[in-house]
Amino acid sequence: MRRDDFSRRLMRETVLTADDLIYPVFVHEKSGREAIASMPGIERVSIDELLRVGEEAALLRVPALALFPVTPPEAKSLDAAAAWHEDGLVQRAVRALKARFPELGVITDVALDPYTTHGQDGLIDDSGYVVNDATVEALVKQAVSHAQAGADIVAPSDMMDGRIGAVRAAFERDGHIHTRILAYSAKYASAFYGPFRDAVGSAASLGKGNKFTYQMDPGNSDEALREVALDLDEGADMVMVKPGLPYLDIVRRVKQRFGVPTFVYQVSGEYAMLVAAAQNGWLDRRACALEALTSIKRAGADAVLSYFALDAARWLREG
Ligand code: PBG
């Protein structure tokens, strides 16, 4: 059965296509592009350059981009107010993309870490503890401002309790009936986010801090199901498991239990370790990236956020 290419193709259960991919993009206030040392091949881009990325994604039929802002230090504050500024970087980036490529899906990240001086995803009290309810109020303002700018999907990645319900209620109140909510439901307190924090510059703010008080413990699995159930109950349209490869058991359980659109984030550290090995000549970049993405889909993912998205779409096209 495996001898010939024709029969292998006929029997293949999982086939990765460009339709499965979402490309995360780092947007900065500077002009042009800037390399990210810990993520070779990935750059921070200006809004002008973002439009070129959008064009490439559209050409390759990658359905959507996910935007992550690189906030200059002077725009950060304790109350993260820059997060819901009408003319903030994300808001301008969304408007520019939607004006030029109305068909391209635009996903925004709802969390305060790019905007807080301490790099936490939420607001902190005097002891440095991230406080849930005050944070949710801020997240709602941020999500509404993204919806007003024209984001197709807002994706709360902060892991506060009750934020999906609060964002959904605000969208209903303001008539944002088409803005979808992708809940980062099972987001683990993972060390694989390191390169991302370099890329957006939150690593310096975070210092020795960690996110253990709100992101999930890597040892837990039943808890992921409870988190997903809560977010669906509160009005999430799609749920996310993050990171990808080390958490495929969670992906499978979530997909099997709930049968809802389940997205997976193949995170910065997963990208970095694969690319680093490839740069040493130890792994085949293309083969390993496509295998990892296919495995994530096989586990149950409907779509994958991946820094390989554009490369993978190109490789799949080349055949
Ligand atoms: C922040 C956020 C993180 C990522 C996406 N949104 C980092 C974190 O939680 O510290 C990580 C993505 C990646 O590593 O590629 N809300």
CA of 218 to the centre of ligand 1 (A): 15
Q: Which residues contact 133 (CB under 8 A, 6 or more apart)?
A: 162
Ligand 1 center from residue 132 Cα (angstroms)? 18
Residue tagged active-site, from 76, 98, 187, 255:
187
Q: Which residues, judged by CB distance below 6 Å to any ligand atom, belong to the binding site of ligand 1? A: 109, 111, 113, 121, 157-158, 193, 196-197, 211, 267-268
Mutational pocket test of ligand 1: of 108, 135, 205, 267, the residue with most ligand atoms within 8 Å of the beta carbon:
267
How many residues belong to the chain? 319
Report the nearest-CA residue for atom 6 of ligand 1: 157
Closest Cα to atom 5 of ligand 1 = 157
pLDDT value, residue 201: 85
The pLDDT of residue 315? 98
CA of 292 from ligand 1 middle (Å) equals 19
Residue 269 Cα: closest atom of ligand 1: 14
The whole-number pLDDT of residue 144 equals 98
18-27: per-residue pLDDT in tens? Answer: 999 999 999 9
In the chain, what are the domain boundaries?
14-318
Average pLDDT, the chain: 97
pLDDT for the residue 319 = 85
- Hey, what CATH topology would domain 14-318 get? TIM Barrel (3.20.20)
Hey, whose CA ends up nearest to atom 14 of ligand 1? 193
Residue nearest to atom 2 of ligand 1 (CA): 157
Task: Say how many Å lie between the CA of residue 99 and the centre of ligand 1.
Answer: 27
Backbone angles phi, psi at 41, to 5 degrees: 95, -10
Active site residue 187: yes
Name the DSSP letter for residue 217.
P
Q: Is 255 a catalytic residue?
A: no
SS (H, E, C) 94-145: HHHHHHHCCCCEEEEEECCCCCECCCCCCCECCCCCECHHHHHHHHHHHHHH
Annotated catalytic residue: which of 76, 98, 211, 242? 242
Residue numbers in the known binding site for Mg(2+) are 227
Q: How many angstroms does the Cα of residue 215 sit away from the middle of ligand 1?
A: 11
How far CA 18 is from CA of 5, 64, 193, 234, 259, in Å, comes to 21, 10, 24, 30, 22
* Residues of the chain with confidence (pLDDT) below 70: none
Which atom from ligand 1 is nearest to the alpha carbon of 194? 14
pTM, 2 dp: 0.97
pLDDT tens, residue by residue, 105-154: 999 999 999 999 999 999 999 999 999 999 999 999 999 999 999 999 99
Identify whether the C-beta of residue 123 lies closer than 8 Å to the C-beta of residue 77.
Answer: no
pLDDT of residue 202: 82
Listed in sequence order, the residues at least 6 apart from 164 whose beta carbon sits closer than 8 Å to its beta carbon are 156, 181, 183, 230, 231, 234, 235, 236
Which amino acid, one-letter code, is at 164? I
pLDDT recorded at residue 204: 81
Helix pair 47-59, 309-318: axis angle to 10 deg: 30
CB proximity list for 304: less than 8 A, separation 6 or greater: 20, 21, 22, 244, 263, 264, 265, 266, 293, 296, 297
